[in-house]
């Protein structure tokens, strides 16, 4: 079973403390041993210094050596063994058994320092030097017992082996407590987050300290909840608006059918009722098509077929298709800009953009007014401007004209067959093509809509054939 974060933190902290304590204990052990050996070596060096500094050793060598052997044993607790240059034993500390005496060190060095265990007196620190007295060469060996050193080291080892595990247990307990305290805010965040449901998205997590890591995490979660709240609100509003838009034609259909079934009607009256029903069915069909288009784009399942095209020819074709409508309304429809505006895009979707924009412009421009379409280029973009002299849009409505189901004049839009989805679809298509759309308007003067579309769309194929389908991410 995988450990919890609290368990892992406790384990990691305990492991870190174990490593630190082990390194510290090893360092203390080595340093104490080094210090004790240095102290012993200094004692041996002092002994050699006393012998070397005695002037009598040159004239009365044997008597002087015996004197210092006794002095070493009595005052410094040192043993002494002296060998002649040929390796024969010359003198040693009285009472020291001859059979356990250390052998003279081998080699041509002038000084040796080493440890040697002796069978009856224990481990000894041995320091040996070649020395010349009275014209003769000797190997003088001083031996210091290591019992005190071994005792000190044993005591330290016992302390470390006893206190170390106790310290580790204490550190593990402290680590668990620290981990529990450190993760307590996470538990509070979890409990608070569990309490936030789809019906309670107005609630937010409490941010105790916004500057630490958990505070920033809580702020990030709050921001995410805010986005979810806006999304849910948008979905609820979208659903309510769609239901409202569908309810009106359904009510009309039901009324017309009930009237037709409730009494006898003439052929002319039947034709009138059927015409009214057909009109409402057309409105419902348009609305459901637009809803389906937006839903597919939101779900990312609609594909665009991208191919090279001439934007000028496409826009000119739309203008000519809309000209009869302009003539019926008594509105002058003009197009400015000549030449070729090459780009890559989905021709059908791009045509839908300009049909919607021209339809809106003609719809809200009174007889005698003018709708002008201008084409041009700006940097790496083709620019299409649709300008009208219509009623315009009040400034307070401009920020929301691309919202779904939003109408500036709700009564008039519905009576003219508008659903409030046209500009949302236009914006989605423009964004899918990597472009941008802007609307500026002066109430009572007119409206200017500017569409910017890139000349080259990422993912196009150079052979001019239909490119790989472009997935829509939604507007």
pLDDT tens figures, 335-391: 987 666 888 888 888 988 998 899 889 988 999 999 999 998 888 889 999 999 988
Q: Residue 202's pLDDT is what?
A: 79
| Cβ atoms of 112 and 131 closer than 8 Å | no
Closest CA to 337 of 314, 359, 356: 314
Residue 296: pLDDT band with limits 50, 70, 90: low
Q: Is the dihedral of CA 105, 106, 111, 116 positive or negative?
A: negative
Closest CA to 94 of 125, 68, 64, 113: 68
Please report how many Cα atoms fall inside a 13 Å half-sphere around the Cα of residue 27, on the Cβ side. 6
Cα–Cα separations (whole angstroms), residue 25 to 12, 31, 158, 256, 358:
20, 10, 11, 96, 86
User: Cα 264 to chain center, whole Å?
Assistant: 73
Average the pLDDT over 63-68 and give the result: 92
| Cβ atoms of 103 and 19 closer than 8 Å | no
Cα–Cα separations (whole angstroms), residue 60 to 55, 135, 176:
9, 12, 75
In DSSP terms, which residues pair with 442 in a beta bridge?
446
Q: Residue 470's pLDDT is what?
A: 32
CA angle 328, 329, 335 (to 5 degrees): 90
Task: Report d(CA 129, CA 127) in Å as an integer.
Answer: 7
Task: Report d(CA 312, CA 31) in Å as an integer.
Answer: 89
Closest CA to 460 of 309, 306, 311: 306
Cα–Cα separations (whole angstroms), residue 198 to 187, 188, 229:
21, 20, 8
Average the pLDDT over 309-317 and give the result: 90
3-state helix, strand, coil in the chain (%, to 5): 55, 20, 25
Closest CA to 128 of 143, 117, 146, 145: 143
Please report how many Cα atoms fall inside a 13 Å half-sphere around the Cα of residue 191, on the Cβ side. 6
CA angle 296, 298, 299 (to 5 degrees): 65
Structure tokens at 206: 């409490």
Residues 6+ apart with CB under 8 A from 147: 122, 123
Q: Residue 294's pLDDT is what?
A: 65
Closest CA to 429 of 303, 245, 308: 303
Task: Using the predicted structure, report yes or no on whether residue 7 has a pLDDT greater than 90.
Answer: no
Task: Report d(CA 432, CA 425) in Å as an integer.
Answer: 11
Closest CA to 91 of 140, 144, 145, 143: 140
Closest CA to 393 of 374, 415, 412: 412
Q: Residue 32's pLDDT is what?
A: 95
Please identify which residue in the block is written with the tokens 């191919």. Answer: 307
| Cβ atoms of 141 and 126 closer than 8 Å | yes
Burial class (CB in 10 A: 0-12, 13-18, 19+), 288: middle
Residue 265 or residue 170, greater confidence: 170
Q: Give the tens place of pLDDT for each residue, 398-442.
A: 887 887 666 665 544 444 545 667 788 888 889 888 899 999 988
Return mean pLDDT, the chain. 83
Q: Give the tens place of pLDDT for each residue, 111-161.
A: 999 999 998 889 999 999 999 998 889 999 999 999 999 999 999 999 999
Task: Report d(CA 382, CA 435) in Å as an integer.
Answer: 9
| Cβ atoms of 441 and 393 closer than 8 Å | yes
Cα–Cα separations (whole angstroms), residue 354 to 152, 242, 295:
96, 24, 21
Task: Report d(CA 356, CA 322) in Å as an integer.
Answer: 10
Reduce the DSSP state of residue 229 to 3 states and report it.
Answer: helix
Task: Report d(CA 248, CA 411) in Å as an integer.
Answer: 13
């Amino acid at each position: 079973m995988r450990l919890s974060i609290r368990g892992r933190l406790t384990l990691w902290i305990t492991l870190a403390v174990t490593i630190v304590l082990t390194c510290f204990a090893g360092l203390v052990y080595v340093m104490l041993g080094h210090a004790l050996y240095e102290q012993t070596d200094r004692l041996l060096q002092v002994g050699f210094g006393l012998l070397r500094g005695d002037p009598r050793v040159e004239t009365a060598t044997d008597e002087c050596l015996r004197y210092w052997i006794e002095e070493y044993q009595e005052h410094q607790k040192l043993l002494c063994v002296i060998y002649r240059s040929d390796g024969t034993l010359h003198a040693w500390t009285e009472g020291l058994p001859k059979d356990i005496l250390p052998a003279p060190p081998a080699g041509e060095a002038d000084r040796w320092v080493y440890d040697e265990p002796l069978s009856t007196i224990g481990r000894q620190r041995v320091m040996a030097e070649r020395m010349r007295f009275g014209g003769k060469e000797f190997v003088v060996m001083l031996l210091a017992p290591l019992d005190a050193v071994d005792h000190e080291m044993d005591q330290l080892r016992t302390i470390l082996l006893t206190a170390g595990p106790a310290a580790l247990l204490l550190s593990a307990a402290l680590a668990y407590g620290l981990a529990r305290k450190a993760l307590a805010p996470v538990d509070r965040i979890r409990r608070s987050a569990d309490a936030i449901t789809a019906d309670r998205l107005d609630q937010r997590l409490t941010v105790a300290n916004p500057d630490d890591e958990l505070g920033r995490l809580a702020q990030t979660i709050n921001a995410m909840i805010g986005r979810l709240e806006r999304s849910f609100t948008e979905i609820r509003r979208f659903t309510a608006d769609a239901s409202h838009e569908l309810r009106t034609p359904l009510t009309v259909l039901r009324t017309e059918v009930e009237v037709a079934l409730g009494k006898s009607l003439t052929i002319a009256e039947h034709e009138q009722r059927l015409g009214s029903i057909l009109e409402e069915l057309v409105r419902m069909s348009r609305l459901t098509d637009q809803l389906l288009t937006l839903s597919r784009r939101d779900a990312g399942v609609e594909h665009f077929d991208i191919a090279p095209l001439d934007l000028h020819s496409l826009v000119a074709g739309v203008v000519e298709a809309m000209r009869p409508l302009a003539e019926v309304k008594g509105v002058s429809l003009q197009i400015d800009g000549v030449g070729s505006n090459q780009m890559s895009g989905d021709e059908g979707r791009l045509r839908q953009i300009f049909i919607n924009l021209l339809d809106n412009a003609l719809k809200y421009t009174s007889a005698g007014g003018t709708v002008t379409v201008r084409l041009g280029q700006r940097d790496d973009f083709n620019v299409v401007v649709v300008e009208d002299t219509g009623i315009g849009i009040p400034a307070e409505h401009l920020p929301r004209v691309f919202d779904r189901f939003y109408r500036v004049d709700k009564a008039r839009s519905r009576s003219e067959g508008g659903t409030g989805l046209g500009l949302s679809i236009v914006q989605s298509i423009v964004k899918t093509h990597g472009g941008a759309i802007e609307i500026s308007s002066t109430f009572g003067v007119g409206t200017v809509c500017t569409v910017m579309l890139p000349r080259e769309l990422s993912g196009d194929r150079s052979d001019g054939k239909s490119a790989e389908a472009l997935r829509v991410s939604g507007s």
